[in-house]
Structure 1
Amino acid sequence: MKISRWAAILSMFFFWPGLALAANFDGSQLSPLWGIPFAGLLLSIAVMPLLLPWFWHHHFGKVTAAWTLAFFLPFALIFGPALAGASLVHALVAEYIPFIILLTALFTVAGGIFIRGNLHGSPGLNTGLLLIGAVLASFMGTTGASMLMIRPLIRANDNRLHTAHIVVFFIFIVSNAGGSLTPLGDPPLFLGFLKGVDFFWTVKHIFPETLFLIGSLLAIFYALDRWYYRKEGVQPVDPTPDTGRLGFDGAFNFVLLAGVAALVLLSGFWKSSVVFNVYGAEVGLPGLVRDAGLIAITFASLKITAEKVHEDNQFSWGPMAEVAKLFAGVFLTIIPVIAMLKAGVNGPFGTVVSAVTRPDGQPDPAMYFWATGVLSSFLDNAPTYLVFFNTAGGDPQVLMTTLAPTLAAISAGAVFMGANTYIGNAPNLMVKAIAEDRGVKMPGFFGYMAWSGAVLIPLFLFMTFIWFR
């Protein structure tokens, strides 16, 4: 029987009218074993590209589907198709689909902008480009800013002898820390926005931390790049010919980027009583308008962008398809993990909840910062944010007010420490792949961790004592 036929049967099984119930269930009744598919998927993402790169490259979608079915089929058999179907629909409609639509729009629009001209890399110029990328990241996403800025940065330094450190700091600053100020910047913050966190809450509460981290990284990078630059002496002949004055091809996509920001803002400020019930999951009219607009912007970008711009950018759907497939599995297998964390100290993960809670019962911001950060380093920061958002109670109104230091710690830990490894944030691997394709010899998984351990961890320790005590 073909896979498509199986998919049709499973769809009828899960979505048969009348079967869908509320997706909320008592996580305290679950065994920690229900977290195995989630852990297995994340372990596969971390290890298989290193140990079995050829197999992973060709079959990561099948591996993701296998772990997802390893959760849903037993869950449906034990708890019934109604609860399984409602949980599936809620995860897709309320979280995954809006998330992937925004990511696709940013990826497409950024891929339609090509920066013309050949800059000549120097410590000052490179630091300036990283700063520009950091500012752009909070408005066009770490994915969008990374895809826009990494190619001209590599091209500017293609006659340098030492370039790996440039890309490493690019990942630190542009692909992670720069996206910490708005829900447009990084996937974890957008998930928080979908949960009810105000659009401007993050910039109000972690701006000093962001300014310190980015400023420190830029200063360290400038000193290091200047040392390499002097060590190299006379630069080799630049292999990239000058192509005239600097400029942009596909510049109309900047207008579309403004449209993306406007739609996200609209969905946050527009309050409507119109709500649609999709098999137990509530979908508000503002969210539908936002997602429809983002889809329209994606198609508009593809329509108006000249083919040559995409060719110059080496634009392809491969990175986006990989992120979409992997995150689909992550968002679905994390369902029981979130339910168990919501159960609090009496649930299967009571030890985790206790570790981030002070003796008086109040959350410990420092522990939330490091717990969220460490897991974000290895498990991907978007689902990790959700885990600790729910561990802290999951009520956005309480988290934005009474527990504001806790939400700030969760947000900072998820965004900042996603830079600790290649797998901490989706753009990290995209940037690494582009750099290696352009001839940059990037450090391996543990080599990159040596960089983050030497540069980032001391800064995070300092931030803990200043802001998250």
Structure 2
Amino acid sequence: MAARRRGMKFGLRSAAAFALPFLALLLTAASPAAAAEGLPVLDGARLSPLWAIPFAGMLLSIALLPLLANHFWHHHYGKVALFWGLAFVVPFATVYGPSATGHEVVHTALLEYIPFIILLFALFTVSGGVLVTGNIKGSPAVNTLILGIGTLIASLIGTTGASMVLIRPLLRANDERRHNVHTVVFFIFLVSNIGGSLTPLGDPPLFLGFLKGVNFFWTTTHLLHDTAVIAAILLVAYYLLDRYFYAKEDPALKRTDPTPPTEKIGLRGAQNLPLLVGIIGAILLSALWKPGVTFDIYGTHVELQWIVRDVLLVALALVSLAITPTIVRERNGFDWEPIMEVAKLFAAIFLTIIPVIAILKAGSRGAFSPLVDLVTGADGQPVNVWYFWLTGSLSAFLDNAPTYLVFFNLAGGDPHQLMGPLAVTLEAISAGAVFMGAMTYIGNAPNFMVLSIARHRGVKMPSFFGYIGWSIVFLVPCFALLTWLYYI
């Protein structure tokens, strides 16, 4: 009981500063004074490609500073993110005025960043209270089994939920092995990305498609073969690679196993499992319940069901903190640093991506028109190969959710057409957004969270470009095969 009280004290104090600002912003939706009329709409056709410099600078900072100035980055990444955010906001406000800038920032915050980070916060907090106990030994067969299970459940509890539930047990299972980097890399490939392709609950791009009118089980039926092919190839490749590294383990150099050898395999924190179901329910509620109540916040329309969803998600996270004993989170190695790192870095990414997405939305009228024109053939029909590769390539470096929306709209934006005559096009967009989010650490939020947790556990993860090297070797051939099988 005392441990539970300590857990409540630890969790609520640690989470308050993180959650309450988001709730305050959401609850301002109830104030009519927040409404703003006649705000200008950002026209991406008029934007110079130079507006993409802050976004490129943010990406390069994430890529290079941990490699070139690790100590500086570890202590000041928040300041770096703030610098690039201001590098966009200040010039933009100077050129287009504070009103237009405020509208774009509020729009991005309320409709994209805050829901995004609240969902991650809820999944991170609740899944961090689920502890798989026992002295699991990370043999090639066991590791492959864990990756396979994670791939399967990612579409049920989301790539973030599956990643947070399984990454810590997987790291503990391999804590006495010296060769474990490849295990985390393949975990990001499979559990943090590819496994989330079968339902709208699995990955944010598919959830956005669901909100746009794509049937819930459409992705299950149309992406099942793509997912099965790529998951089977990667699981076999991982098993063979892990057998190779397992054979290289020198018993004399083995690390000390910190897990008690007699501890039975079990599950603690099971009270959090209904909360995970509650998170899924809150997301479904926001999609299925349409009360028709909308608030206007500085030109951004926020619907009541979205506010209810986010309040429920924060409430579920706080309930998890209250009912989970501290010892469970301590044994899980739970701390707030990974989610805080994601929150700070993605705040800058969502901010600096505003002009990039606007230019892409401008289509052939924008500065990036050569890229956009590739997706349409001379006959006016979509070129599915380019939809797959362009959606995927941009998803690897931009956030895959808004990238999905850009190409969804470029393909016409009509869900009935895209699920019918243009089904292969929607399949290409969906697969590109989900699968190629695995190409970089920033392609999907769970990637960065897993990276942060692994580094905190002492795993010497590859640099930004080193990870891309793994992706080129193992993922690109799989994507080429999918292209040949389904999109040519």
Q: TM (normalized to structure 2)?
A: 0.85
Give matches, 1:148-167, under 5 Å.
148-167=165-184
Contact 1:331 1:383 in 2 (8 A): no
What CA distance in whole angstroms lies between the structure 2 residues aligned with 1:21 and 1:45?
37
| Structure with higher RCO (Cα < 8 A, 6+ apart) | 2
Structure 2 match to 1:74: 91
Give matches, 1:211-250, under 5 Å.
211-230=228-247, 232=249, 239=257, 240-250=259-269
What CA distance in whole angstroms lies between the structure 1 residues aligned with 2:195 and 2:40?
35
Structure 1 match to 2:45: 28
RMSD: 2.7
Q: 1:458 aligns with which of 477, 482, 485?
A: 477
Once the 2 structures are TM-superposed, how far is the Cα of residue 300 of structure 1 from its aligned partner? Answer: 0.6
1:59-86 CA-to-partner distances (Å, cap 9, x unmatched) read 2222222322332333333333332222
- Indicate how the Cα distance of structure 1 residues 193 and 62 shifts in structure 2: closer, same or farther if over 3 A, else same: farther
Once the 2 structures are TM-superposed, how far is the Cα of residue 393 of structure 1 from its aligned partner? Answer: 4.9
Q: 1:298 aligns with which of 295, 311, 317?
A: 317
Structure 2 match to 1:117: 134
What CA distance in whole angstroms lies between the structure 2 residues aligned with 1:399 and 1:107?
33
What CA distance in whole angstroms lies between the structure 2 residues aligned with 1:211 and 1:196?
25
Structure 2 match to 1:5: none
- Indicate how the Cα distance of structure 1 residues 157 and 191 shifts in structure 2: closer, same or farther if over 3 A, else same: same
- Indicate how the Cα distance of structure 1 residues 71 and 160 shifts in structure 2: closer, same or farther if over 3 A, else same: closer
Count, aligned residues: 456
Secondary structure, counterpart of 1:252 in structure 2? helix
Give matches, 1:199-278, under 5 Å.
199-230=216-247, 232=249, 239=257, 240-278=259-297
Contact 1:143 1:427 in 2 (8 A): yes
Give matches, 1:342-381, under 5 Å.
342-381=361-400
What CA distance in whole angstroms lies between the structure 1 residues aligned with 2:244 and 2:179?
11
Give matches, 1:391-430, under 5 Å.
391-393=410-412, 399-430=418-449
Asked whether 1:338 is paired with 2:361, we answer no
1:213-266 CA-to-partner distances (Å, cap 9, x unmatched) read 112211222233234444548795872322432111111111000001111112
Q: TM (normalized to structure 1)?
A: 0.88
Amino acid at match of 2:192: S
Contact 2:34 2:297 in 1 (8 A): no
Amino acid at match of 1:317: W
What CA distance in whole angstroms lies between the structure 2 residues aligned with 1:457 and 1:187?
22
Structure 2 match to 1:3: none
What CA distance in whole angstroms lies between the structure 2 residues aligned with 1:275 and 1:169?
43
Give matches, 1:54-73, under 5 Å.
54-73=71-90
Once the 2 structures are TM-superposed, how far is the Cα of residue 446 of structure 1 from its aligned partner? Answer: 3.8
Contact 1:95 1:194 in 2 (8 A): no
Structure 1: stretches of 5+ with no match in the other structure: 1-10
Amino acid at match of 2:382: P
Q: Which of 402-411 and 363-372 deviates more?
A: 402-411
Q: 1:171 aligns with which of 163, 169, 188?
A: 188
What CA distance in whole angstroms lies between the structure 2 residues aligned with 1:324 and 1:106?
14
Once the 2 structures are TM-superposed, how far is the Cα of residue 131 of structure 1 from its aligned partner? Answer: 1.0
- Indicate how the Cα distance of structure 1 residues 253 and 127 shifts in structure 2: closer, same or farther if over 3 A, else same: same
Q: Which of 96-105 and 428-437 deviates more?
A: 428-437
Once the 2 structures are TM-superposed, how far is the Cα of residue 107 of structure 1 from its aligned partner? Answer: 0.7
Once the 2 structures are TM-superposed, how far is the Cα of residue 273 of structure 1 from its aligned partner? Answer: 1.9
Asked whether 1:142 is paired with 2:159, we answer yes
Amino acid at match of 1:287: W
What CA distance in whole angstroms lies between the structure 2 residues aligned with 1:245 and 1:29?
63
What CA distance in whole angstroms lies between the structure 2 residues aligned with 1:396 and 1:72?
35
Contact 2:35 2:299 in 1 (8 A): no
Contact 1:206 1:408 in 2 (8 A): yes
1:380-437 CA-to-partner distances (Å, cap 9, x unmatched) read 5345434444544555565444543333222212221222233333332332343344
Q: Which of 348-357 and 98-107 deviates more?
A: 348-357
Structure 2 match to 1:311: 330
What CA distance in whole angstroms lies between the structure 2 residues aligned with 1:117 and 1:253?
19
Once the 2 structures are TM-superposed, how far is the Cα of residue 198 of structure 1 from its aligned partner? Answer: 4.4
Contact 2:62 2:464 in 1 (8 A): no
Structure 2: stretches of 5+ with no match in the other structure: 1-27
- Indicate how the Cα distance of structure 1 residues 18 and 148 shifts in structure 2: closer, same or farther if over 3 A, else same: closer
- Indicate how the Cα distance of structure 1 residues 75 and 329 shifts in structure 2: closer, same or farther if over 3 A, else same: same
